[in-house]
């Protein structure tokens, strides 16, 4: 079964942003830079409200391919782990449920 086009890319882009968030939060100089945090927050918010919500939409409809479903579950774990960092930097929280699924 193949899912909607572009889903793997959406998941990859949000995952890359989560890794970038960890790097930003780990660097005291960068994380204190209001300009750098602001620039990242714009990209972060765009990815969460666009790409992530798109993946969640297809997930809820049961239209993700099995490999995309596994990648999405892994992404949600990664986002759950990044929440404290996002909160510390004053960034938006993912607008999708991040709880474990059966």
Domain membership of residue 66 (yes or no) is yes
pTM equals 0.92
Rounded to whole angstroms, the Cα distance separating 26 from 15 reads 17
Which range marks the domain in which residue 31 is found?
7-89
Q: Which residues contact 62 (CB under 8 A, 6 or more apart)?
A: none
Domain membership of residue 40 (yes or no) is yes
Domain membership of residue 2 (yes or no) is no
| Tens of pLDDT, residues 20-62 | 999 999 999 988 889 999 999 999 999 999 999 999 999 999 9
Domain membership of residue 100 (yes or no) is no
Half-sphere exposure of 101 (CA within 13 A, CB side): 14
Domain membership of residue 94 (yes or no) is no
| Tens of pLDDT, residues 63-94 | 999 999 999 999 999 999 999 999 999 999 99
Closest CA to 17 of 88, 101, 78: 78
Rounded to whole angstroms, the Cα distance separating 31 from 96 reads 25
The string of DSSP letters for 64-89 reads S-HHHHHHHHHHHHHHHHHHHHHHHH
In 10 A of CB 19, how many CB atoms?
11
How many domains is the chain built from?
Answer: 1
Domain membership of residue 70 (yes or no) is yes
Domain membership of residue 48 (yes or no) is yes
Could you tell me how far CA 72 lies from the centroid of its own chain? 10
Domain membership of residue 99 (yes or no) is no
């Amino acid at each position: 079964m193949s899912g909607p086009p572009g889903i793997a890319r959406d998941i990859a882009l949000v995952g890359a942003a989560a890794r970038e968030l960890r790097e930003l939060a780990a660097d005291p100089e960068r994380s204190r830079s209001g300009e750098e945090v602001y620039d990242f927050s714009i990209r972060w918010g765009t990815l969460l409200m666009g790409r992530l919500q798109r993946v969640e939409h297809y997930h809820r409809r049961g239209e993700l391919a099995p490999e995309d479903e596994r990648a999405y579950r892994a992404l949600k774990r990664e986002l759950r782990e990044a929440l404290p960092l996002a909160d510390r930097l004053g960034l938006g929280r993912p607008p999708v449920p991040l709880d474990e699924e059966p």
